């Protein structure tokens, strides 16, 4: 009996012993290690890089991404770039008193920059760019007197730049580009040394560093007042179609990027606004000629010009980044859409015609047909097929009840095929550059057709080669596109992913409900993923949602909006995935969001 008892007690005692040893070892980890462990606890997903951080180690000095001072064993560097880390940055990071270098860039961190960072007074470099950080820039950063490099660009930071940062007299590089910052750029201290490229891509900054006069002039600005704040809202119909204008000078070599996150038309209204604009009749009266592709338009030039002269405000069906669209109804009952682009500069004609020739040669079931163009001395008129269903933008945001699950899938499929055709089957390949819901048009059967492909490139300013008008709405643009202004097939794939999310959610990419949280639709998705709630992105008013195809579609969209272009699939692959995983509905397992 006694022996039996002993045998039973042994394992129990052993457990207790092991437990105490463990507790002791956990207790034994240095305070810096403890701070890093709570930093890790706050992270909800990653590529697994942090799994090697073991709580039982005496200090974190051998952990991946961590460097310590060899004598004091205090953490001096935390470098976790590009590891898909998602979650908030724990305020406990402020306990790393001897931290000199913090590199968390190109991850999916969201939430605020912890003000506790202001406690790490030895910090020399902070790199947080390329995340989804939101909220204000903590003024406590002004306490970091050793700071030499601060890069918090490409996040969703809002508010103004705290004047306390002007005290950082050792600061060499400073970058707050591509955020949602507003207000005057402080002019005191080191701030007088920074130039435009530190501030590009913010909605509403002003100050002499960027040559934008502040409204109240407290920033002490200069003459050139191309302030995005002077944006106007001519009709107030569409709300969130901001525009990004990238322009740069080859000689200076500086990239000037001004994000105009404004109501549509702010840029165009000034340039081509009604008050100073010419009428269409004036355009075509002075020696205009019509070029028709493939004899596609069964009319004479004269017929068309006569018709064009009758067009006026009543025939306008929309206004976008490049001009105004009119409905052109011919006498035989055929209807076309006429896009009028006011000529932007000289020396643009030959290039324009060459490009148009290419665009006019592209025919595909899921692309809007360009029928011809009218080359008038004062403007360019493009003649497209008219699509009776209007744009997906209107369909989704003004009459979404007509779009059930099946219709939405079908639209996504059509848009994917159209885009895949441009990327993979055209020669030369065509990057759309402006994928968004207003450029997906619908026919009367709600079949999608991609429109305006190639236009963004066409309307680039040819003379200064790196001057680009990035014609896309803010929320659709891939992070690397915002940073460089360089479009690739993969930047289109990103925009397509955003489009899928828009179709699923019924919300515009920069819907106020996302902006309130300091996010856009991709940031919101990333947040939902980390909570494993991504299905919640679906529009509750969408009928007939089918869970399996939803999951498959979400997985495609998630890949498309990946922050690094290499992780995004090609459009070819997207079409394959949609066909094999999404469009093969499984008749069981219906999920009706309206029931229960």
Ligand X SMILES: *[C@@H]1O[C@H](CO)[C@@H](O)[C@H](O)[C@H]1NC(C)=O
Ligand Y SMILES: Nc1ncnc2c1ncn2[C@@H]1O[C@H](COP(=O)(O)OP(=O)(O)OP(=O)(O)O)[C@@H](O)[C@H]1O
What DSSP line would sit under 189-232, residue for residue? GGGGG--GGGTTT-SEEEBGGGTB--SS-TT---S----GGG--
- Under the binding rule (CB under 5 A), the answer on residue 393 touching Mg ion is no
Burial 221-239 (b: 16+ CB within 10 A, else e): beeeeebbbebeeeeeebe
Question: Active-site residue among 151, 434, 452, 539?
Answer: 434
- Which residues lie near ligand X (CB under 6 A)? 91-92, 94-95, 116, 118-119, 139-140, 142-143, 153-154, 164, 169, 173, 175, 177-178, 189-190, 192-193, 197-198, 255, 483
Residues with Cβ within 8 Å of residue 36, at least 6 apart in sequence: 53, 60, 63, 66, 75, 78, 96
Q: Which of 439, 468, 473, 563 binds Mg ion (CB under 5 A)?
A: 439
Residues with Cβ within 8 Å of residue 44, at least 6 apart in sequence: 86, 87, 530, 531
By CB under 5 A, which span of 44-52, 93-101, 320-328, 557-565 interacts with Mg ion? 320-328
- Under the binding rule (CB under 6 A), the answer on residue 202 touching ligand Y is no
Q: Let me know: does 268 contact 302? Beta carbons within 8 Å.
A: no
| Smallest gap from residue 97 Cβ to ligand X (A) | 8
- Under the binding rule (CB under 6 A), the answer on residue 337 touching ligand Y is yes
What residue 140 binds from ligand Y, Mg ion, ligand X, none (CB within 5 to 8 A, per partner kind)?
Answer: ligand X
Q: Which of 90, 129, 451, 495 binds ligand Y (CB under 6 A)?
A: 451
**Residue 287, by phi and psi: left (phi above 0), alpha (psi -120 to 50) or beta?**
left
Question: Which of 171/370 has CB closer to ligand Y?
Answer: 370
**Radius of gyration for the alpha carbons in the chain, expressed in angstroms and rounded:** 28
Q: Is 539 a catalytic residue?
A: no
Confirm whether residue 73 is marked as ligand binding: no
- Under the binding rule (CB under 5 A), the answer on residue 324 touching Mg ion is no
Site map (CB under 6 A) of ligand Y, residues 402-441, x = contact: --------------------------------x---xx-x
Q: Quick one: which of 513, 548, 544, 543 has its CA closest to 528?
A: 513
**Residue 317, by phi and psi: left (phi above 0), alpha (psi -120 to 50) or beta?**
alpha
Dig out the tokens for 327 from the structure.
């409905």
- Under the binding rule (CB under 6 A), the answer on residue 452 touching ligand Y is yes
Q: Which of 151, 204, 452, 480 binds Mg ion (CB under 5 A)?
A: 452
Distance CA 107, CA 19 (A): 36
- Under the binding rule (CB under 6 A), the answer on residue 390 touching ligand Y is yes
DSSP 313: G
Question: Which of 170/274 has CB closer to ligand Y?
Answer: 274
- Under the binding rule (CB under 6 A), the answer on residue 489 touching ligand Y is no
| Smallest gap from residue 452 Cβ to Mg ion (A) | 4
Q: Let me know: does 381 contact 308? Beta carbons within 8 Å.
A: yes
DSSP 277: P
| Smallest gap from residue 400 Cβ to ligand Y (A) | 15
Binding-site residues for ATP = 343
Residues that bind Mg ion (CB under 5 A): 320, 439, 452
Catalytic residues: 434
Residues that bind ligand Y (CB under 6 A): 317-322, 325, 337, 339, 368, 384-387, 390-391, 393-394, 434, 438-439, 441, 451-452, 471
Binding-site residues = 343
């Amino acid at each position: 009996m006694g022996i039996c008892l002993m045998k039973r007690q042994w394992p129990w005692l052993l457990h207790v012993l092991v437990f105490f040893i463990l507790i002791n070892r956990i207790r034994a980890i240095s305070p810096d290690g403890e701070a890093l462990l709570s930093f890790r606890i706050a992270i909800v997903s990653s590529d697994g890089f942090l799994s090697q951080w073991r709580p039982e180690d005496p200090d974190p000095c051998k952990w991946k991404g961590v460097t310590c001072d060899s004598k004091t064993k205090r953490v001096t560097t935390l470098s976790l770039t590009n590891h898909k880390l998602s979650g908030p940055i724990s305020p406990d990071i402020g306990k790393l008193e001897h931290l000199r270098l913090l590199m968390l860039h190109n991850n999916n961190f969201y939430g605020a920059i912890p003000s506790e960072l202001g406690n790490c007074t030895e910090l020399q470099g902070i790199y947080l760019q390329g995340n989804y950080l939101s909220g204000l820039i903590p003024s406590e950063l002004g306490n970091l007197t050793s700071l030499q490099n601060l890069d918090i660009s490409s996040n969703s930071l809002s508010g103004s730049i705290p004047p306390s940062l002007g005290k950082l007299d050792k600061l060499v590089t400073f970058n707050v580009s591509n955020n949602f910052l507003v207000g005057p750029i402080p002019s005191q201290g080191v701030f007088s040394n920074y130039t435009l490229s530190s501030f590009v891509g913010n909605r509403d900054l002003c100050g002499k560093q960027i040559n934008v006069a502040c409204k109240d002039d407290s920033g002490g600005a200069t003459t050139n007042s191309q302030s995005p704040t002077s944006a106007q809202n001519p009709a107030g119909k569409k709300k969130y179609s901001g525009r990004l204008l990238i322009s740069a000078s080859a000689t200076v070599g500086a990239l000037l990027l001004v994000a105009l996150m404004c109501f549509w038309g702010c840029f165009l209204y000034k340039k081509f606004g009604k008050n100073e604009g010419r009428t269409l009749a004036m355009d075509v009266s002075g020696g205009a000629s019509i070029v028709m592709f493939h004899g596609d338009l069964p009319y004479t030039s004269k017929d068309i010009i006569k018709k064009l002269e009758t067009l006026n405000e009543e025939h306008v069906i929309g206004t976008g980044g490049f001009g105004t669209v009119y409905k052109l109804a011919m006498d035989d009952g055929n209807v076309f859409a006429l896009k009028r682009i006011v000529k932007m500069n000289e020396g643009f004609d030959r290039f324009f015609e060459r490009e148009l020739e290419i665009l006019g040669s592209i025919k595909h079931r899921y692309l809007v047909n360009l029928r011809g163009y009218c080359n008038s001395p004062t403007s360019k008129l493009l003649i497209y097929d008219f699509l009776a269903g209007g744009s997906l933008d209107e369909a989704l945001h003004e009459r979404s009840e007509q779009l059930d699950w099946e219709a939405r899938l079908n639209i996504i499929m059509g848009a994917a095929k159209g885009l895949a055709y441009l990327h993979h089957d055209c020669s030369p390949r065509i990057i759309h550059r402006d994928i968004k819901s207003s450029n997906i048009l619908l026919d009367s059967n709600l079949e999608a057709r991609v429109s305006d492909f190639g236009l963004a490139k066409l309307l680039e300013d040819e003379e200064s080669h790196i001057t680009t008008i990035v014609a896309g709405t803010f929320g659709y643009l891939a992070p690397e596109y915002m940073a460089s202004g360089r479009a690739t097939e993969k930047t289109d794939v990103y925009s397509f992913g955003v489009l899928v999310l828009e179709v699923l959610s019924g919300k515009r990419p920069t819907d106020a409900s996302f902006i309130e949280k300091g996010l856009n639709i991709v940031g919101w998705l990333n947040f939902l993923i980390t909570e494993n709630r991504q299905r919640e992105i679906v529009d509750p008013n969408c009928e007939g949602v089918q869970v399996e195809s939803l999951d498959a579609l979400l997985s495609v969209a998630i890949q498309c909006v990946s922050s690094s272009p290499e992780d995004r699939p090609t459009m070819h692959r997207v079409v394959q995935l949609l066909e094999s995983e999404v469009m093969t509905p499984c008749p069981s397992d219906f999920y009706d969001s309206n029931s229960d």
